[in-house]
Amino acid sequence: MKIKEYRTQFIQTLAPIYDGVEAESFFYLILEEKQQLKRIDLALKPDLELSEEELAVWDSILEQLKLEVPVQYLLGKTSFYGLDFEVNSAVLIPRPETEELVDWILKRQKAKGKGQKVKILDIGTGSGCIAVSLAKNLPNAKVFAIDVSEKALATAQKNAELNSVEVTFIEKNILETMDLGQEFDIIVSNPPYVRNLEKEEIKKNVLDNEPHLALFVEDDDALLFYRKIAELAQKNLSNSGQLYFEINQYLGQEMIDLLEKMNFENIELRKDIYGNDRMTLAHR
């Protein structure tokens, strides 16, 4: 079958589940990963054929997409802040909102001067997207990252190696940690923050495939991780150090209240590109 013909069939098959633009984007992601071809190649060579073996691979991926398995998991990779990352079912797929958090940190640090050394801790690192991106873009940074999941840390370590950066990874349950034994200039975290009552807002492909450990918190203690990390920051953040969080869009004011009660200063609440309260910055 010609690839061009398969493209039409592929998009039509997924039309009841995804919109046309999304289905088409899946097609070209797979085309580049599995065939090493870009959109322009298909335009220039419309008669390119899929072999039986190649067709079987495409059909297998298509069946998984019909079950709403994320295309990033099927390809085993994604892009984040201009870098390539391996992803699997042990880690969340990095989101654009988290890229905004990384960008906020980088712009503030670069404004302080290129040569400044900085010690950074990423709590709940998952795929390592925050830690690795910061290490890649801040050559003078010493970056540490914590996660409770051994499998997540293995993935994060691969991503550090893939992007040629050095990050110190630590397996630790942050909820059971009283003191980290060292000080950091920046502590950043994108912890679990989706309440069970918000599950109905979560897309099926996320709910059925991404790790719930990294997503959900109990309704009656939605700020559990933030409170615990802020307590650690009181002990392990240097004077005038910065504490960054990605937050639940519905709990912006609650986050400000929490940080104020814990005596943090110069608290900022920032919206994401979709206009939702998504990030906070506080100073010790």
Residue-wise pLDDT tens digits, 162-181: 999 999 999 999 999 999 99
Give the pTM: 0.91
Q: What are the C-alpha distances in Å from 1 to residues 7, 8, 56? A: 10, 12, 11
Average pLDDT over residues 149-165: 98
pLDDT at 87: 97
**DSSP for 151-200, written as a single string:** HHHHHHHHHHHHTT--EEEEE--GGG-S--SS-EEEEEE----EEGGGGG
| pLDDT, tens only, 211-253 | 887 888 888 889 999 999 999 999 999 998 999 999 999 999 9
Record the tokens describing residue 177, joined without a space: 């940690």
As a whole number of angstroms, the distance between CA 123 and CA 118 comes to: 16
40-54 residue pLDDT tens: 998 898 899 999 999
Model pLDDT for residues 96-122, shown as the tens digit of each residue: 999 999 999 999 998 887 677 899 999
